């Protein structure tokens, strides 16, 4: 094998974690090859999308610190700022305050306390009733929320056009000298110490190998029960030019109970709406242990009928009738499942794989990883070279067969449907 096929680091997976790491390594002069079955942005990546939320609210100081740093880069670094839109985010606390929502309520309460505790400057307005909401944000003037609500409007939050952000990161990585391989030459089918085999038969050698395939990471290595692939349901509404202009200044609306949506995409006039009334699992036999089951993604590239559950149509209408009733009866289009790489505690999993000598893993986004595109690679590269802060290392460390709770604490507890059992909505 020629020397050109030997690298300091072989990165498997070119989503957020992989691209960010490639950039940070290349800046330090590290020779990197990045492999993926698809060109950036991969249709399998959760970030191949119109938008992802950029915010700093976290109950855990570790992620709040990282998010504050990331937000500064989204605002000021030309590589990222061209795809960032500071539209604000309205967070509506669960209307049903019960055992199902207590985790989310505590998450929001602690997050706001941390902002104050650490003296972080954010322009946050608290809202206690629907009239104040409609007066503050005219787009919600027709809302039908209950007389008493608990909401926080953070004007410093926003979103990034996620697919375009990946494209920009890819271009920067290429500029810095990172080698990319896609298609069969980038479709990795086996990983071993210092050696990565692709579908084409190509072998890539590296002093270190980093697997960053998000929810699909369990297809390549045994994650020993640390990750569950969770599918969340996403739908869209095609707005007219007039409707799009009306909602152009709409902030992000976020409710862990009702769902969340974004202002319309400025290029396509598409309104994205994420449903939160249920999740999905795709439980199969663990490819590395036939005695275990594991949830791994089932992608729409192979299962075209995977849209959203029929039952969620009424949930979507209910939410829109509460917030934007004029959109409630418009058809839902481009419905799909977006796959998250969940951990038991929402901590990332970024560590050396204990049963390999030089293979590392970076996954466990738990639905909140995208915002760290500008800076997560800095920390992953520190894991690779052994210089990561001890507290961060502990939080992100390999923890084999953890105890899984009923649900992720930052989400309202909701049903998990098996993909094979879902009654799919037909568009």
- Predicted confidence pLDDT, tens digits, the chain (427 residues): 444 579 999 999 999 999 999 999 999 999 999 999 999 999 999 999 999 999 999 999 999 999 999 999 999 999 999 999 999 999 999 998 888 999 999 999 999 999 999 999 999 999 999 999 999 999 999 999 999 999 999 999 999 999 999 999 999 999 999 999 999 999 999 999 999 999 999 999 999 999 999 999 999 999 999 999 999 999 999 999 999 999 999 999 999 999 999 999 999 999 999 999 999 999 999 999 999 999 999 999 999 999 999 999 999 999 999 999 999 999 999 999 999 999 999 999 999 999 999 999 999 999 999 999 999 999 999 999 999 999 999 999 999 999 988 667 789 899 999 999 999 999 9
Q: What is the pLDDT of residue 321?
A: 98
The answer to whether the CB of 309 falls within 8 A of the CB of 423 is yes
Q: What is the pLDDT of residue 32?
A: 98
Which residues does 134 contact at the CB level (< 8 Å), separation at least 6?
Answer: 140, 141, 142, 143
Q: At what angle do helices 61-76 and 102-117 cross, to 10 degrees?
A: 70
Distance CA 20, CA 173 (A): 9
- φ/ψ of residue 308, rounded to 5: -140, 155
The answer to whether the CB of 360 falls within 8 A of the CB of 353 is yes
Q: What is the pLDDT of residue 89?
A: 98
- Token pair listed for 66: 């990282």
Distance CA 353, CA 359 (A): 6
Q: What is the pLDDT of residue 405?
A: 80
Torsion of CA 125, 128, 131, 133, to 10 degrees: 30
How distant, in Å, are the alpha carbons of 22, 207, 313, 369 from that of 363?
15, 20, 31, 9
Distance CA 92, CA 127 (A): 9
- Token pair listed for 67: 């998010």
Q: What is the pLDDT of residue 2?
A: 41
Nearest to 5 by CA among 221, 173, 198, 184: 198
How distant, in Å, are the alpha carbons of 9, 126, 272 from that of 421?
41, 41, 25
Q: What is the pLDDT of residue 410?
A: 84
Q: For 189-257, where are the alpha helices, taking DSSP H only?
A: 241-246
Q: What is the pLDDT of residue 147?
A: 97
Count other Cβ atoms within 10 Å, centred on residue 199: 14
Q: What is the pLDDT of residue 54?
A: 98
């Amino acid at each position: 094998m020629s020397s050109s096929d030997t690298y300091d680091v072989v990165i498997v997976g070119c989503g957020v974690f992989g691209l960010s790491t490639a950039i940070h390594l290349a800046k330090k002069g590290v020779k990197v090859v990045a492999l993926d079955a698809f060109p950036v942005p991969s249709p399998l990546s959760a970030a191949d999308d119109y938008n992802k939320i950029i915010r700093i609210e976290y109950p855990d100081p570790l992620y709040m610190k990282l998010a504050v740093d990331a937000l500064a880069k989204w605002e000021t670094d030309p590589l990222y700022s061209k795809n960032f839109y500071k539209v604000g985010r309205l967070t509506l606390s669960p209307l049903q305050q019960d055992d199902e929502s207590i985790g989310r309520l505590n998450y929001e309460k602690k997050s706001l306390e941390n902002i104050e505790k650490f003296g972080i400057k954010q322009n946050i307005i608290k809202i206690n009733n629907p009239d104040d909401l409609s007066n503050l944000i005219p787009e919600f003037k027709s809302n039908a929320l209950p007389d008493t609500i608990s909401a926080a409007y953070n004007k410093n939050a926003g979103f990034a056009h996620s697919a375009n952000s990946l494209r920009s990161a890819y271009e920067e990585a290429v500029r810095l000298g990172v080698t990319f391989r896609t298609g069969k030459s980038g479709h990795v089918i086996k990983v071993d110490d210092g050696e990565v085999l692709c579908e084409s038969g190509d072998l890539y050698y590296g002093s270190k190998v980093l697997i960053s395939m998000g929810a699909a990471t369990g297809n390549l290595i045994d994650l020993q029960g640390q990750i569950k692939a969770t599918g969340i349901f996403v739908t869209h509404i095609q707005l007219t030019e007039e409707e799009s202009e009306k909602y152009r200044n709409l902030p992000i609306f976020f409710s862990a109970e009702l769902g969340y949506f974004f202002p319309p995409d400025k290029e396509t006039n598409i309104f994205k709406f994420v449903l939160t009334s249920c999740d999905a699992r795709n439980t199969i036999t663990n490819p590395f242990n036939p005695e275990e089951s594991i949830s791994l993604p089932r992608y729409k590239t192979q299962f075209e009928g995977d849209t959203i559950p029929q039952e969620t149509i009424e949930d979507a209408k209910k939410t829109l009738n509460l917030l934007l009733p004029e959109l409630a009866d418009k058809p839902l289009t481009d419905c799909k499942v977006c796959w998250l790489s969940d951990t038991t505690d929402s901590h990332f999993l970024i560590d050396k794989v204990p049963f390999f000598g030089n293979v590392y893993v970076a996954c466990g986004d738990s639905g909140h990883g995208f915002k760290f595109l500008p800076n997560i690679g800095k920390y992953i590269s520190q894991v690779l070279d052994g210089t990561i802060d001890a507290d961060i290392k502990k939080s992100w460390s390999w923890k084999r067969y953890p105890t899984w709770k009923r649900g992720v604490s930052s989400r309202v507890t909701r049903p998990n449907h098996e993909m094979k059992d879902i009654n799919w909505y037909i568009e």
